[in-house]
Amino acid sequence: MKAVIVGAGNVGVFLASDLRAAGHDVTVLEEDPDLVTELATSHPEVHWVAGDGCEYTTLDRIGLAEADVVVAATGDDEDNLVVSLLAKQEFAVPRVVGRVNHPKNEWMFNQTWGVDVAVSTPHLLSAVVEEAVSVGSLVRLLRLDASGVRLVEVTLSGGSPACGVALAALGMPRDATVVAVVRRGGVVVPRGDTRLDAGDEILVLVSPEAEDEVRRLLTGPVGVPGSG
């Protein structure tokens, strides 16, 4: 895979090193030429380029049209949106990932701006904290693409209507799929005859339209004791 990362801050540098260690071809574009010189010495396995990622000519010079994925990882949301839009519309990059620095701007990181996947660190941290303390509530862990499909988690409470019910009999909507059941620290591969128990962590891929129905099936109606 050929990956291009725009922005050589802590996030960009870590991601570049991680992807390169996994065997991928990685190019990082960074405005600061002094930082590029420093990183080229400390991380020679990555291709470092000095230039403005918001300029078409710069992106063309590094061969962005050949990239499989572009990550707009600067510390400025406006720059990340411009990079994403250029990558998608001008260079037809198949996968564009945009870093959201300020949560209030997340609504803009969508297909209109060329973003396939938006990553908001504050929202991810919030989801992790909520997942750690919430039982009987549906927690959004990760949005997977611009269509709004997301990974959600529910830890079943003792009062969940799903307790003791086999997955096949649960009546999950067509736009939702149970991808894993975490039980007592182990992963149970979900099958039709898998019966759910209190304390199970249920991971579900779900569309926005089906989320309320999934919540009802796993937590019960809102306002009912033990429901989310």
CB 147 within 8 A of CB 208: no
Lowest mean pLDDT among 5-14, 94-103, 130-139, 202-211: 130-139
| 12 part of a folded domain | yes
| 124 part of a folded domain | no
Q: Which amino acid belongs to residue 49?
A: V
Q: How confident is the model at residue 129 (pLDDT cuts 50, 70, 90)?
A: low
Lowest mean pLDDT among 103-107, 131-135, 166-170: 131-135
Q: Is 160 left (phi over 0), alpha (psi -120 to 50) or beta?
A: beta
| 184 part of a folded domain | yes
What the block records as the tokens of 92 is 């037809």
| 150 part of a folded domain | yes
pTM over 0.85: no
Task: Answer yes or no: do 152 and 72 share one domain.
Answer: no
Q: How many domains does the chain have?
A: 2
Q: How confident is the prediction for the chain on average, in pLDDT?
A: 88
Q: Give the model's pLDDT for residue 223.
A: 46
Task: Answer yes or no: do 94 and 151 share one domain.
Answer: no
Task: Answer yes or no: do 73 and 145 share one domain.
Answer: no
Task: Answer yes or no: do 96 and 147 share one domain.
Answer: no
Q: Give the model's pLDDT for residue 228.
A: 45
Q: Is the pLDDT of residue 126 over 90?
A: no
Could you give the residue ranges of the DSSP H alpha helices within the chain? Answer: 10-21, 33-42, 56-61, 77-85, 121-133, 167-170, 211-219
Q: Assign 42 to helix, strand or coil.
A: helix
Q: How confident is the model at residue 226 (pLDDT cuts 50, 70, 90)?
A: very low
Range 81-100 average pLDDT: 96
Structural domain range at position 86: 2-119
Q: Give the model's pLDDT for residue 122.
A: 62
Q: Is the pLDDT of residue 61 over 90?
A: yes
Domain final residue, candidates 79, 94, 119: 119
What the block records as the tokens of 38 is 């420093």
Between 43 and 149, name the one with better pLDDT: 43
